[in-house]
Structure 1
Amino acid sequence: MTITNPDSSSKADLLHIINTGNGFKVVSGPDVKSGGSTYVFNQWKKIVNNRYEIPMVDIDGILTTESGLKQLTKKQHAELEELYKQYPN
């Protein structure tokens, strides 16, 4: 089962509750981002540069769809390409 993390100070927006057969285990899920292109892009940059271990879901497809990428400025596109080179995974 996946639930919304009730801890507002946590970096993970979702929690996965897994029945291991010997009890339950709670595992952090990704950070879910939505909103304007600048907000999503800046959040992704912050995660990539400072907290690479935190997965992020771009729920609106700003960074993962052609229509979303069109919302970025030329400067943001250049930064995005540079970050792709620095962090290819």
Structure 2
Amino acid sequence: MIRIRETISPVLSEFLKEFTTKDDRADVINNVFGVGTSTLRDLVYRVNPVTDKSLPALKLLLLKASQNADSKIKQAKNCKKEVKKVIDCI
């Protein structure tokens, strides 16, 4: 759960670090007025607490992380399928 005036959980922080990039953060900042890239980075790294102002940006970044995770799952499934084809031919 995300609470205003508290940092995000360590688990959520690791999730955001694993599944988002600095480019993802920059894209989010372009869509949210009044929040800078350093603020969003500090939220991810648990340096700053969540504020009413930063919450919309954090929400967009979480959505991006979820999309990126789905893409990695799809990529991993395709990899397994291709590897199986190669192994079956050996």
Q: TM-score, normalised by structure 1?
A: 0.24
Structure with the larger helix share: 2
Indicate the structure (1 or 2) with the bigger Cα radius of gyration: 2
Higher normalized strand content (fraction of residues):
1
Q: Pick 1 or 2: higher relative contact order, CA cutoff 8 A, min separation 6.
A: 2
Give the alignment's TM-score, normalised by structure 2.
Answer: 0.24
